[in-house]
Amino acid sequence: MGSNYSKFETVCRILKENSFDESKLIPILQAVQEEYRYLPKEILVFIASSLNIFPASVYGIATFFAHFTLKHKGKHIIKICDGIACHVKKSNNLINALKNKLGLKEAEYSTKDMLFTIETISCLGACGLAPVFLIDEDIYGQMTPDKAVELIDKIMEQERVK
């Protein structure tokens, strides 16, 4: 529970480090998202109030950039590339296989245990490796559905050991 305070303290620090400057809204949001792994509504309102700008403007920025998310995300984020090259190399099959493996229904993107979140992105800039995806910071190229499921199994195993 103490973590609530330390998180809030961090937000205050971030605001101070950026001198409460509204033109630094994007770096502020980036730093806050790093802390919370998403942008909680209350914190966005707090940021708007502290920077003296409209909450609707903060909401506009937070929804404009794909990088920001207003929903709580899982511990591991899988970003599947669905750019043209990956798409023709059947990235769709990867998406389906992963969703199936994680038991995610049509409009669900995060697992119930908040271990995984699946996202599609427009291009990773690694078209030579298509189809490609990222798990957290690591890139995996020339993927097949089977290989993808294996990777997930491995992470699940590691999490169990922890």
Partner 1 sequence: MEKYLTVNGRRVSFTDEKNLLEIIRKENIELPSFCYNSELSIYGSCRLCMVEIEGRGILSACSTPPESGMEIKTSNEHIIEVRKIIIELLLANHDRECTTCGKSETCQLQTLARRLGINKIRFKNVMYKEPKDLSTYSLVRESGKCILCGNCVRFCDEIQSVGAIGFANRGSKSVICPSFGGDLGSSECVYCGQCARVCPTGAIMPKSEISYVWKVLSDPKKKVVVAIAPAVRAAIGEAFGFDDGNGTETAGKIVTALRSIGFAKVFDVSFAADMTIVEEADEFLNRLEENKDMPLFTSCCPAWVKFVEQYYPDFISNLSSCRSPQAMYGSVAKKIMPEMFKIPKEDLIVVSIMPCTAKKFEARRPELSKNGVADIDYVLTTQELTRMIEEAGLLFGELEPSAFDMPLGFKTGGGVIFGNSGGVTEAVLRNIVNDNSGGTDKTEQFVFVRGKDGLREVKVNFAGRELNIVVVYGLKNARKILKDIKVDRSRYDFVEVMACPGGCIGGAGQPVYKDLSVRKTRTKVLYESDKTMELRRPQDNPYVQKVYKDYLNKPGSCAAHEYLHTGYKYRKRFNETFEIYKPAKEGNIKVNVCFGNSCMQRGSEEILKHIVSFVENGKYRDRVGIEVSICLEKCFKGPVVKVANRTLEYCTPKAAEEAIQEELMKK
Nearer to partner 1, 66 or 139 (CB): 66
Angle in degrees, 0-180, between the axes of helices 41-51 and 55-64, rounded to the nearest 10: 120
For position 12 contacting partner 1 by CB under 8 A, the verdict is yes
Q: How far is the CB of 48 from partner 1 (least distance, A)?
A: 8
If you count DSSP H runs as helices and E runs as strands, how many of each does the chain have, helices first? 7, 4
CA 30 to mean position of chain CA atoms: 11
Give the Cα separation of 66 and 44 in Å (integer): 16
Nearer to partner 1, 29 or 102 (CB): 29
For position 41 contacting partner 1 by CB under 8 A, the verdict is yes
Point out which span in 7-15, 104-112, 131-139, 142-150 binds partner 1 (CB under 8 A). 7-15
Give the Cα separation of 89 and 55 in Å (integer): 42
Q: How far is the CB of 71 from partner 1 (least distance, A)?
A: 12
Rounded to a whole number of angstroms, the CA Rg of the chain reads 18
Q: How far is the CB of 24 from partner 1 (least distance, A)?
A: 16
Sheet holding 138-140, edge to edge: 116-121, 76-81, 133-135, 138-140
Nearer to partner 1, 47 or 148 (CB): 47
Please give the structure tokens belonging to residue 116. 């995984």
For position 114 contacting partner 1 by CB under 8 A, the verdict is no
Q: How far is the CB of 147 from partner 1 (least distance, A)?
A: 32
Q: How far is the CB of 124 from partner 1 (least distance, A)?
A: 19
> Scanning residues 45 to 84, which ones bind partner 1 (CB under 8 A)?
45-46, 48-50, 52-60, 63-66, 70
Buried b / exposed e along 1-24 (16+ C-beta atoms within 10 A): eeeeeeeeeebeebbeebeeeeeb
For partner 1, the binding residues (CB under 8 A) are 1-2, 4-5, 8-9, 12, 40-46, 48-50, 52-60, 63-66, 70
